Amino acid sequence: MDLSFLTPLYERPGPWASVYADTSTVDESTPERRELHARQARRDLLEQGADEATGYAVYDALASYTHGAAPAGRAVFARGGEVVLDPPLANRLPAPVTSWSVLPRVAPLLGLAGEEPVCLVAYIDRKGADFELRTTLGSRPAGQIHGGERPVHRTASDDRSGRHFQDRAENTWEQNARETAEALSACQEETRAGLVVLAGDERERRAVHDALPHRLLPLTVETDHGGRSAGSDSRLLDEDVERLRREHARTRAAAELERFRAARDPSADGGIVVAAEGVPALVDAAREHRISELLVDPDGPDAGREVWVGDEPHQLAVRRSDARSLSDGEPHTARADDALLRSAAMAGAEAIRVLPGDGASEAGPSGGLGALLRWSRPDGT
């Protein structure tokens, strides 16, 4: 998961209210039920020590949600009487979460917001394409490309002028496809999308696919649904995109677990270990900004282990005495998974959820927390 959308949570000091709300059930009693849940969340936060203004901010957010805006659920992160972030959830809540703590409780997002990649959808026709970026926070336009306007339609005539016009049309299509592919490649590089979906008529999208650079081909798939023209079936396209994102995420998760297992084996890379597992090793790596990708099993025994944190993302320690030397302020305790996710997000690292059912018991990190590292120390740690 790209953690960059979490950075607003780490640009302000805590404590934080973190609430995960289930919005999946909709019937005639939904407004009343949602209001009761919002009221209960506010009471729970106040009992945990939250201020009145923040409690009411969370209440207002939860009570005002509509089902269409968050079909499975919503996470709410608030402080100082203000909701700072409220991403939609892709999966239903296994249990309610209401937390008032020094760091926002973000670890559940790895399973609830989904680990599907940022997706770049290209709506293609003969004249160019519209680009749309789909992320954990929803979708937004990501630009467009307009190729040559004339001629783009072939003629049915067999005379010389007709064949000449047809050749010009073919050349225009090919040139537009090349320009679309170049623009799509630049957009993917800028947005760091992990999946590219081509929608539109088969001929046009195939021409663009064939013109893409080789680096994009493993990330690119085509769909028969949706298109650039008005009235294209967006529902089937939405279903295709979500399915493709889930499949891509599962494939990537399996590959990352294999990378982790190889990286922690000194015999696999000339005796150099480029992975870490266990809280002490991960804390050291986080302090030195060495984490490239964090692996988290939310149910692992180390996930809820307490560590000491300061105001800055790199200020974390296993022992309080060590934490005091890292910061001028008074250190606080936090969950290891949330502290490491803060550090990873602000260092530009990614995170992936490790599930025991996916082979994590064999390939995953000890204790449920591990990381692939950007570099290793000279002593190999």
User: What is the chain's alpha carbon radius of gyration, rounded to the nearest angstrom?
Assistant: 25
pLDDT of amino acid 244: 82
Asked whether the beta carbons of 18 and 75 are under 8 A apart, the reply is: yes
pLDDT of amino acid 317: 92
User: pLDDT tens-digit profile of 41-64?
Assistant: 999 999 999 999 999 999 999 988
Asked whether the beta carbons of 113 and 298 are under 8 A apart, the reply is: no
- Specify whether the backbone of 226 is left (phi greater than 0), alpha (psi in -120 to 50) or beta: left
Q: Which DSSP helix (H) or strand (E) runs through 21? A: strand 16-22
What are φ and ψ of residue 317, in 5° steps?
A: -155, 155
> What token pair was written down for 28?
């005639």
Mean pLDDT by 10 residues, the chain (381 residues): 89 94 71 87 96 96 71 88 89 85 93 73 89 79 75 43 46 82 92 89 90 92 78 74 79 81 69 82 94 90 93 90 75 94 94 66 77 76 55
User: pLDDT tens-digit profile of 202-258?
Assistant: 888 899 999 999 999 988 989 888 777 665 667 788 888 878 877 877 777 778 888
pLDDT of amino acid 155: 35
Whether the model clears a pTM of 0.85, i.e. scores above it, the answer is no
Angstrom distance (rounded) from CA 93 to CA 352? 18
Alpha helices in 220-335 (DSSP H): 234-263, 279-287, 320-324
Angstrom distance (rounded) from CA 191 to CA 175? 24
Return the amino acid letter for 283. Answer: V
